[in-house]
Chain A
Amino acid sequence: MGDEEDRILTNLRKGVLEFCVLSALTTGPGYGRNLAQALGERGLLASEGTLYPLLSRLRDAGLVDTELTDPADGRQRRYYSLTTAGHARLAAFRAAWAPFRDTVDDFLETP
């Protein structure tokens, strides 16, 4: 991947990553490594560790919540889940994203 393409992707990721994280949690709670791998495999993270500052901010903003599993069930893990505010934020993004994406697609495809 060229430097220019890399830079463009870095900038695009900045704007959408938090909504991809919120979306990844709509199917149910997930823990850090699990989320990092899912997003990393699709090229949405520069590296797996860069997910954690974002998760911390989402938690501070009340968009996700954390819960520790019972140590008696094996390895203790911190699970992240969407809050009501998180669901609302994601719905607002989805509503804005679809027409925006279509507009950009139209623009880029017009010769």
Chain B
Amino acid sequence: MTTSLLLDGRADEKARYLRELRRELSVLPSGRRRDVLRDVTDHLDDATPEDPRPFKEILGAPELIARTAIRDHDLHAPRSLRPGYAMVSKRLQLLAGILYCPPAVYGLVMLALDGRDWFLWDHLRFLLQLVPALLFLPLPLLARWKRWYLISVLCWGGYVAYLVAQLVVNQMAVTNLLAAELWFVPTSMVWISHAPVIVLLTLALLGAPTVLRHHRNLR
């Protein structure tokens, strides 16, 4: 009974370790990630029966293994690593960008088809309100690994600050200022997409691999 409980605990610890490692290695290209995961799994299968030490003590923290892999990549590649789309956080950022597109495209098409002169304040306002998203959504997708987290936080902050500014301007009805009206009075098409975009960008930051969040502290 005790032996069985110990084995169950060991299996849980192994599953937990591999889950963490998979998350940390998701930054890497698929071939390297697959190789390392397979080798570490083999190592754990080998070590389990005879070594009672915690897996993090035997193999090292998952973020340390990922950090070594990224450094090794950077030493032998012409450019620093750009996190891959196997990383859940990056998929969420991509999804946020994709979700933003339909209302924006729909709004642009409707403006083009509404039969009025092209250059109207409504049009300008709509276009200006696309700018923050066009700036903040693609940047984290292009960032290299060392700056990915910082850029993601800054873009998230910029996006949230812009939405807060919109709310404040609307609450205070500061629409007598042309600039405030142009930038901050929301057009309905754009406003629809903000909520899911913010949720996805927040989840992307919360679920980011430790190796990207604390890479300066890892040796």
Contact = CB atoms under 8 A, between A and B. Distances in A.
B43 A33 contact: yes
Contacts of A46: 60, 64, 68, 219
Given A10-B219, A48-B58, A60-B31, A53 B65 contact: yes
Contact of B35 (A31, A36, A59): A59
A55 B64 contact: no
A69 B47 CA distance: 18
Given A47-B59, A49-B59, A56 B43 contact: no
Nearest to A78: B42
- Indicate the member of B43, B71, B76 with the most A CB atoms within 10 Å: B43
A54 interface: yes
A48 B62 CA distance: 11
For this complex, into which size category does the number of interface residues on chain A fall?
20 to 34
A36 B58 CA distance: 10
A56 to B, nearest CB: 4
B140 to A, nearest CB: 24
B205 interface: no
Given A14-B75, A46-B64, A48-B60, A53 B32 contact: yes
Interface in B54-76: 58-62, 64-65, 68-69, 71-73, 75-76
Given A32-B42, A32-B43, A50-B65, A57 B76 contact: yes
A75 interface: yes
Given A46-B219, A48-B60, A52-B39, 19 more contacts: A14-B71, A32-B43, A33-B47, A46-B68, A47-B61, A47-B64, A47-B65, A48-B43, A49-B43, A50-B65, A52-B40, A52-B69, A54-B68, A55-B35, A56-B39, A56-B69, A57-B72, A59-B35, A60-B32
Interface of A: 6-7, 10, 14, 31-33, 36, 46-50, 52-57, 59-60, 75, 77-78
Interface of B: 31-32, 35-36, 38-40, 42-43, 45-47, 58-62, 64-65, 68-69, 71-73, 75-76, 219
